[in-house]
Amino acid sequence: MSTVELTTENFDEVVQGPDGKNFVFIDFWAGWCGPCLRFAPVYEKASERHPDLIFAKVDTEAQQELSEAFEIRSIPTLAIIREGVLVFAQPGALPEQVLEDLIAKARALDMDEVRAKAKADAGAEPQA
């Protein structure tokens, strides 16, 4: 599967899907960014190897609102949203094997545990 261009208009549809269970990798990039351009073929190959996952790209220049919502400060940045939960976000171009390892780890997540931890963290008292 090729990558999907993610915009503010199609964000909910792509990320949530019909049942709220979509598993989405998002590459935040820009055309002027050398590391972004070097990462693009690695990301595209991963999308072809994993057709059951959604691989989306956000052009940070054209989609500034999405970039701001994700607090993107450095590109490329890779984010993973699984079942509506942001489970990973990190700047930097990843080598192919590191991306494959990350995909495997994201697949292995117990989403019930992730949601329980997120709920507990949201209810925790802020540290002084």
Hey, what amino acid is at 70?
F
Angle at 38 between CA 83 and CA 95, to 5 degrees: 60
The yes-or-no answer on residue 36 being catalytic is yes
Q: Looking at 14, 24, 36, 46, which residue is catalytic? A: 36
Q: Looking at 15, 33, 53, 78, which residue is catalytic? A: 33
The yes-or-no answer on residue 16 being catalytic is no
> Which residues, 6 or more positions from 27, have their beta carbon under 8 angstroms from its beta carbon?
3, 36, 39, 40, 43, 55, 56, 57, 58, 76, 77, 78
- Give catalytic residues, as residue numbers: 33, 36
